[in-house]
Amino acid sequence: MAICDEESLYRSKQNYNSAVTIKDSNRIANKMRLLRRLIEYGSKTLTLGKHTRKIVTGVATAMLMIVVLVLVLVIKTQGAFSHLSSLMILILSAI
């Protein structure tokens, strides 16, 4: 918190944002988007080949399906064994 307070004081002393900008959340959000684009501008992207892209897409889909399957199984198991709700919360937090 101390670091955040120091940064806030520094930014207010340097007049990073005008009073109008601070009051308008849309202006702050737009400024943050612009800064993110400027940061990403210099980064290099890696283009994947046809086969590599299919493998990456397949692995991401498989991981998502595994998570959904585990969540469905946990919910169904909780319905069958309602006295194990604290164990289900522990399993969900581990996932």
User: What is the residue-level pLDDT of the chain in tens, covering all 95 positions?
Assistant: 888 788 878 878 888 777 787 788 888 888 888 888 888 787 777 788 889 989 999 999 999 999 888 888 877 776 666 666 667 767 777 77
pLDDT of residue 39: 82
pLDDT of residue 30: 87
DSSP state string for 62-84: HHHHHHHHHHHHHHHHHHH-GGG
Sign of CA dihedral 13, 16, 18, 24: negative
pLDDT of residue 46: 77
pLDDT of residue 82: 64
The answer to whether the predicted template modeling score (pTM) of the entire model surpasses 0.75 is no
pLDDT of residue 85: 66
